[in-house]
Amino acid sequence: MTQDPGNPYSPPVAAVFDTHNAPAAGAFIPNGRKLPAGNGSSWIGSAWRLFRTETLTWILIWMVFALLVMVAAMVPMGSYLLPPLLTGGIMLGCERLRRSGMLEVGDLFSGFRKHTGPLLIQGLLYLAGVFVVTLPVVVIAVIGVFAMSPFFDQSGGDISLLVALLIALMGLLVLALMLPVMAATWFAPALIVLHDMQPIDAMKQSFRACFKNWLPMTIYSLLLLLLICAGLVTCCLGFLVVGPLFSISVYTSYRDIFFEE
């Protein structure tokens, strides 16, 4: 605290700094940094703190997001092209909330203002990745069913058992092969809208960041799975909290991995 030297009877005055308007803290780290496993849980904690500052707004944002994605799923490729645009808006909303303490439902659409093209390209690249991963697996599964069916016919076995087994195995294989595709797209919207990166560069950096942080990402994913289960137990009402937390935690994990603060 300081006091006016010209008036000894003046009350002391404390210096006050506006933290809401503070500039971005820390230096950006290309490709991210490697973090300890425990940071995976801190991302959800940080997301919760951002969620509490604008709880109602976040719930409204997530409800609009979910509704638009469901509508987009009725349009060919809509479920691949729209989510990156909306996710980019959420990343911009998180950044605005962190910097200024303000958030609006309209922030959900801020990804359309400047980065529509790059975000659409990222969605198309994700679609291409899904196609490359799933098509060979489906072909192998179909060939396997036709190749094994004569043996089941001769033995009198039930071919539905074979089909069920193949579906389970192929599902696990697709999940394993999709992990690199998901890693490449996880932080891509944030890198595109907050750093003006091109889609391929953003996806490369996202993949490298996820790869070097596979352990905290695993812990983070398990905690998210528990939250999803909790949301199901509450007759899906819990998703009004879990949904926004998931979206915000993508931003908080991005900040933790890509910035030295």
With tokens 């506006």, the residue in question is 18
Q: Which pair of structure tokens corresponds to residue 166?
A: 């193949």
pLDDT at residue number 19: 35
Residues ≥6 apart with Cβ < 8 Å to 260 = 26, 27, 29, 33
- For residue range 127-170, list pLDDT tens digits in order: 999 999 888 877 877 776 677 666 655 555 556 676 677 778 88
pLDDT of 25 reads 60
Give the ranges where 18-77 is alpha helix by DSSP (H). Answer: 39-53, 55-72
pLDDT at 7 over 90: no
pTM over 0.75: yes
**Can you give the pLDDT at residue 167?**
76
What are 27-51's pLDDT values in tens digits?
Answer: 999 999 999 999 999 999 999 999 9
Report the share of the chain in percent with pLDDT over 70.
Answer: 83
Across the chain, mean pLDDT equals: 86
Percent of the chain at pLDDT exceeding 90: 65
Distance CA 97, CA 49 (A): 11
Is 6's pLDDT higher than 80?
no
Where along the chain do its domains lie?
37-60+77-93+100-260
Q: How far apart are CA 209 and CA 259, in angstroms?
A: 12
**What would you report as the CA-atom Rg of the chain, rounded to the nearest whole angstrom?**
24
pLDDT for the residue numbered 134: 86
Amino acid found at 41: S
State how far the Cα of 60 lies from the Cα of 240, in Å rounded to an integer. 9
What is the full DSSP assignment across the chain? -B--TT-TTSPPB-----STTPPPPSEE-TT-----TTHHHHHHHHHHHHHHHTHHHHHHHHHHHHHHHHHHTTSTTHHHHHHHHHHHHHHHHHHHHHHHS---GGGGGTHHHH-HHHHHHHHHHHHHHHHHHHHHHHHHHHHHHHHHHHHHHHHT--HHHHHHHHHHHHHHHHHHHHHHHHHHHHSHHHHHHHH---HHHHHHHHHHHHHHTHHHHHHHHHHHHHHHHHHHHTTTTTHHHHHHHHHHHHHHHHHHHHEE-
Q: What is the pLDDT of residues 104-133, one digit of tens each?
A: 999 999 999 899 999 999 999 999 999 998
Closest CA to 16 of 31, 27, 1: 1
Taking only the tens place, the pLDDT of each residue in 201-256 is: 999 999 999 999 999 999 999 999 999 888 888 877 788 999 999 999 999 999 99
Residue 12 has pLDDT above 70, yes or no: no
